[in-house]
Amino acid sequence: MSTLKQTFTLVACASVLLVTGCVKLWRKNLEIKTYMVEVRREAEAVQAPLAQKLWIDSVHVLPPYNIRNLILRKSDVEFTTSYYTELLMSPSENFRNGFFTWFSASGIFDDVSVVERKGMSHSLVVSVLEFYGDTTDHQTVLKIKATLFDEKTDGMRVLFSKDYQRRIQMPEASAEELIRAYNEAFTKILSDCEQDVVAALQ
């Protein structure tokens, strides 16, 4: 009886080790890759600020694009998500950081903030309307709506409101190329938006 009990214990321990090893191997094979949409501003800053303080509001990302997993369009009616690839942060945070980084380096405003609204002269409200990779033609699709408000007047006067859309061709269908195309699309949208902000303030 004692021998049978010892045998059962050994089998149980071996099973636990086997399952643990399989779980570790499964987790290793299911490694999730993490990315971030980034922008690099190469244009020179304006020589003198055109306004005081810009507040960048929280970016609203329309469903179903408001998830960290990358979204892919497979046909005119079918969408899917990539389980093994995701953004480092929420799309809302990612795009807000991009707008903050860009306009902080532009020199258009004395100050740009995503932390403190006090003392702002203008506010920028942003919505992401489309944000996906189109596998039917290997393109990324990014559509953003930006509205600039003058906070110094009663009723928050709208200085401009505009939709920006970019479709960038990818050399191949991969997560890395998808993110690189997003970076290019976002950079071009921010460049266009900056020009409209400058025109609205002059």
The mean per-residue pLDDT over the stretch 60-73 comes to: 96
Where are the chain's structural domains? Answer: 1-31, 34-201
pLDDT at position 18 over 80: no
Identify whether the C-beta of residue 62 lies closer than 8 Å to the C-beta of residue 128. Answer: yes
Superfamily of domain 34-201: ABC-type transport auxiliary lipoprotein component (3.40.50.10610)
The gap from C-alpha 162 to its chain's centroid, in whole angstroms, comes to 19
> Phi, psi at residue 161, to the nearest 5°?
-145, 125
The pLDDT of residue 171: 92
Q: pLDDT category, 14, cuts 50, 70, 90?
A: very low
Q: How distant is the alpha carbon of residue 54 from its chain centre?
A: 21
Cα–Cα distances (Å) from 77 to 131, 136, 141, in that order, read 16, 11, 16
Is residue 17 predicted with pLDDT exceeding 70?
no
For the cut 70, the answer to whether the pLDDT of residue 85 exceeds it is yes
pLDDT given for residue 70 in this prediction: 95
How many other C-beta atoms can be found within 10 angstroms of the C-beta atom of residue 50?
16
pLDDT of residue 11: 44
pLDDT level of residue 44 (50, 70, 90 thresholds) = confident
Residue 189 has pLDDT above 50, yes or no: yes
d(CA 57, CA 100): 10
